[in-house]
Amino acid sequence: MEANLDDLNPQVFGYVMDRLLEQGALDAFGVPVQMKKNRPGTLLTVLCNAADAERLTRLIFSETTTLGVRRREEQRHCLSRSWETVHTVWGDVRIKVASMNGSITNYAPEYEDCRRIAAEHQIPLKTVMQASIQQYLCGQETLHQGHGDTES
């Protein structure tokens, strides 16, 4: 669902994004757009399940100044996701592992776990994220080696 906002106080936009996510939107984001009469507007885009469209449309109308909301249906291809936990020296971090046809295509540390550790231990976030990935990859190597052993 999309709505063009050309007369909304940007402070309200930040709030609306939070409310939409809190109310079940799968995702919400803003695109800076150039509108008529030299207005630097924002195109609000909301991704949601069809069942929530009605309710979230009402939320967009209540919270923003838009007079119209556009809706369209799209197909969504998602990867299979699974979770693994790695143990870093500062604490545990969950890794989100995505697969396509049985092969792992992406692995990424859970942001909130890394953020929490970074803030608590006064360590750069990028360091926590990299260390978590490293733990995951080392674990993967051990796993493959383990399989290798059992095969020999």
Residues between 14 and 53 with contacts to a second copy, criterion CB under 8 A: 14-18, 21, 27-43, 45, 47
Give the 3-state secondary structure of residue 23.
coil
DSSP state, residue 79: -
Q: Should residue 87 be labelled a site residue for a second copy when binding is judged by CB under 8 A?
A: no
Q: Is 74:66 a contact under the CB 8 Å cutoff? A: no
Part of the chain binding a second copy (CB under 8 A), chosen from 70-78, 85-93, 142-150: 70-78
Q: Should residue 76 be labelled a site residue for a second copy when binding is judged by CB under 8 A?
A: yes
CB 150, min distance to a second copy, A: 22
One residue of 23, 134, 142, 145 binding a second copy per CB under 8 A = 134
Per-residue HEC secondary structure of 81-118 comes to: EEEEEEEECCEEEEEEEEEECCEEEEEEECHHHHHHHH
Per-residue tokens: 81:
């996701």
Handedness of CA 80, 96, 26, 41 (dihedral sign): negative
Q: Should residue 120 be labelled a site residue for a second copy when binding is judged by CB under 8 A?
A: no
Q: Is 48:25 a contact under the CB 8 Å cutoff? A: yes
Part of the chain binding a second copy (CB under 8 A), chosen from 87-95, 110-118, 142-150: 110-118
Part of the chain binding a second copy (CB under 8 A), chosen from 82-90, 94-102, 143-151: 94-102
Closest CB to a second copy among residues 51, 67: 67
